[in-house]
Amino acid sequence: MIAGTDTLKRQAVDLLNESGKLRYSFTAFSAQHTELTYYLVNHALAGYKLNFLDTVIMTFLREVVTNAVKANLKRAYFEQRNADIKNPGQYAALIEAFKREGVANIEDFVPIMKELGLKVHIYMETNIDGLRIIVQNNCGMTNEELLRARERIQAASAADSVPELLEQFGDESEGAGLGLLINVILLKRSGIGIKNFQISSDEKSTRVAITVPRSFQMPAQVAELYNRITSEIERIPTFPESVQRIINLCDNPRAEISFLASEIEKDPSVAASILRLANSGGFVVGTRVESIHRAVTVLGIKNVRQLVLAHSSRQILDKHYKVFEEFWEHAARVALYCRLIAERCGFRKLADSVFLGGLLHDLGKIVLHSLEPETVKKINGFNLARTENSTAVLEEITLGLSHAEVGARLAQKWNFPPVLIDMIRNHHSAFAADVSHSVEVSIVHLADAFLRVEENQASYVYFDIEAQAHLNIANAKELQAIHEWVKEAAGKQVL
Ligand SMILES: [Fe+2]
Ligand SMILES: [Fe+2]
């Protein structure tokens, strides 16, 4: 959470609870606004016992708000250049430059937008029918744009399944159209329905409204998959007793190292991986570590605990599922990036903790891949290149649970520490992290997102602003510089 917003958030929720209505406005959507919005949405949904829809609604809102701000920004950009946005010739001459300069440098245009009175308003209303949210900006759509948007909504709502929709529209590269499509899929598949989504426009403004009906029910098909995945998680074994004993000893400050070492020796595969780590770079120079006792001393109890968790998770998953090597390669790379980001952003103390978070962040993918390989492949192949959590949300509405949530449930079952569970659960939705873990979650989020940029699956513009705020990253330039540094530092290390 960002300092100073705590009281504000509580006041806003009180106001919404008391009067059933709330309105707030902004020029650009900042980290504080996302957190405030998430907080309000989460509380409002809780009133109807519909909290599980919070990521769906947030994804919807972030998309809508981003587009609303962008339309205002476009207007400011054209007015600053004395160009008429409605004149086709002038529009064509400037639009490419706007996409290059305007979208990436939104901070530069905030004063101009303020001067022109360009704002985005969010209205929330809670009543007997459910939660209603309206997002409004200061830019009217042309008739043609409105028609196109409505056609698109119609076409998307006619399709039957997510894969079908993805095939039909998957090659769309233009942002706003694709964003709208994602939202239609979201509402349709989540069970909220298209009829609860309205878009209207006049000369001066565009309004997008959504209603979450209190009588909401998860679609039967999704509920069935949800149940299948949940019972699969139940079937996955817990850690063996020998491993549990080692972890308990690590947690006991009075436990003797020699006793811990003798417990580790009873589990040959844990013992072997501890020796391997103790002998890898960074821990000892010169002499080889031959005994477990010495290895524990060299690594420290905290590292031993981390290693045992990582090792045992991998063993169980490897035994139950066909896990592809690329999965662990990705995990190892994210883990390394996590450590480097922690060092670079001034959180050196968290380096070990986020390393483990990076290693285990995608655990849930293994389960989903093996249960629903075809659907998952299609979702992953659909390059949304937009919001960081699109894939997770698509999984949620198609399968009932995202890989992040599946991983978190598995981590809960395995008694992982709360911070680790949070890193797994929210690595695609840093805004939803618990206040006390926001830095750790943001680091894992950023490490994963950097790799997506390297694979051409994401761009800096759509990075989570909350994660950047938690890590004190001021702007896109700084973000890019950190990425370059991390990439170079990682290149020097052997994975
Ligand atoms: Fe992920
Ligand atoms: Fe990942």
Query: What is the rounded distance in angstroms from the CA atom of residue 475 to the CA atom of residue 265?
Result: 50
pLDDT of residue 143: 80
Where do the H-state alpha helices sit in 280-372? 292-299, 301-320, 325-344, 351-360, 363-371
Q: Measure CA 20 to chain center.
A: 29
Q: Ligand 2 centroid to 390 CA: how many Å? A: 13
CA distances to 13, 341, 351 from 296, rounded to whole Å, are: 49, 26, 19
Cα–Cα distance for residue pair 63/70, rounded to 1 Å? 11
Q: Which of 48-57, 134-143, 232-241 has the lowest mean pLDDT?
A: 48-57
What confidence category does residue 355 fall into, taking pLDDT thresholds of 50, 70 and 90? very high
Task: Output the CA 449–ligand 1 centroid distance in Å.
Answer: 9
Averaged over 423-441, what is the pLDDT? 90
The CA 407 to ligand 1 mean position distance, Å, reads: 9
Tell me how far apart the alpha carbons of residues 394 and 476 are, in angstroms, rounded to a whole number. 27
Domains detected in the chain: 6-216 (3.30.565.10), 240-315 (no CATH), 321-495 (1.10.3210.10)
CA of 460 to the centre of ligand 1 (A): 17
Structure confidence by residue, pLDDT tens digits, 444-490: 999 999 998 898 777 776 677 778 889 999 888 899 999 999 999 99
The ligand whose atoms approach the alpha carbon of 447 most closely is 2
Q: Does residue 122 sit in helix, strand or coil?
A: strand
Ion ligand 2 residue ranges (Cβ < 5 Å): 362, 448
Residue 467's contacts (CB-CB under 8 Å, 6 or more residues apart) are 430, 441, 442, 445, 446, 449
Q: Tell me how far the alpha carbon of residue 27 lies from the centroid of ligand 2, in angstroms.
A: 32
CA of 388 to the centre of ligand 1 (A): 9
- The answer on pLDDT for 165 being more than 70 is no
Average pLDDT over residues 269-283: 83
pLDDT for res 351: 92
Q: Compute, in angstroms, the gap from residue 407 CA to the centroid of ligand 2.
A: 12
Cα(298) to centroid of ligand 2, in Å? 30
Query: How far away, in angstroms, is 154 Cα from ligand 1 center?
Result: 31
Interval 32-57: pLDDT, tens: 888 889 889 988 998 888 877 888 89
Distance from Cα 204 to the centre of ligand 2, integer Å: 42
Question: Which residues crowd ion ligand 1, with CB under 5 Å?
Answer: 362
**Interval between CA 200 and ligand 1 midpoint (Å):** 35
| pLDDT reading at 6 higher than 70 | no
Q: Which amino acid is at 315?
A: Q
One-letter amino acid identity for 416? Answer: F
Query: Cα(365) to centroid of ligand 2, in Å?
Result: 9
From the CA of 406, the nearest ligand is: 1
Query: What is the percentage of the chain residues whose pLDDT exceeds 90?
Result: 41
The pLDDT of residue 175 is 47
| The two three-digit tokens of residue 260, written as one number | 């811990």
Q: Of 129, 156, 144, nearest to 211 (Cα)?
A: 129
What does the pLDDT read at residue 101? 78
Model confidence, pTM: 0.77
- Cβ atoms 364, 404 nearer than 8 A: yes
